[in-house]
Amino acid sequence: MPRPRSEKARQAVLAAMRRALAAGGYGAVTIEGLAAEAEVSKQTIYRWWKSKAAILGEALLDGSLPGADVSLPMTDDLRTDLRAWFSAASAALGKPEVVALARALIAVTATDPELGDALNRRFADPIVEWITQRVERARDAGDVRADADAAVIADQFVAMVSYAALLGRPLSEERVDATVDVLLRGIASGR
């Protein structure tokens, strides 16, 4: 029977993962480095986690993801709201630690579907929900075509920000404006 986890050691490993990720990105994280930083043995880490992706996933689920809050107010202007969301997301991508976390989140999602699903429920779903609600509200007001799929539109926003994170390039104000303009031309009700 495996020994129960020491909560102190567990927290030390998770904190070491967050620090290592912010310092050098997911690719630079090693089990040896985490063990040394957390002052635990490699065997302890291997006994508790099946991979560094699993450690990262637990560290993210246990903590927070900077820039993941979607507590933006909704106004009566869809363009203003979508632009505000993109601008906030892009500002977060201007911070190296946020880019590192976003890239790692994408990497974990790609390598561990079950963990990726849990992480996406925690971090992406609230964003998708906010954008979906905002587009549905505009559709109900007659500003957006009745056949516009709000969830698909929300997924596109998340995809664009994810792509920007992978490239390590925040969206410029011009790119934000152009993106919102193209989107609104495609879904506008025409009235």
Q: What average pLDDT does range 66-73 have in this prediction?
A: 61
If phi over 0 gives left and psi between -120 and 50 gives alpha, with beta otherwise, what is residue 182?
A: alpha
Task: Let me know if 161 is exposed, middle or buried by CB neighbors in 10 A (0-12, 13-18, 19+).
Answer: buried
pLDDT of residue 143: 94
Give Cα 15 distance to the centre of its chain. 19
* Structural contact between residues 21 and 101, judged by C-beta atoms closer than 8 angstroms: yes
**Amino acid at position 4, single letter:** P
Condensed to tens digits (0 to 9), the pLDDT of residues 87-124 reads 888 888 887 777 777 777 788 888 888 888 888 888 88
What is the C-alpha separation between 30 and 52, in angstroms, rounded?
Answer: 7
The full set of domains in the chain, from first to last, is 7-62 (1.10.10.60), 78-187 (1.10.357.10)
Which tokens go with 54?
């699993």
Condensed to tens digits (0 to 9), the pLDDT of residues 17-26 reads 988 877 877 7
Backbone angles phi, psi at 97, to 5 degrees: -70, -30
From first CA to last CA, the distance across the chain in angstroms is 68
pLDDT of residue 121: 84
Q: What is the pTM of this model?
A: 0.74
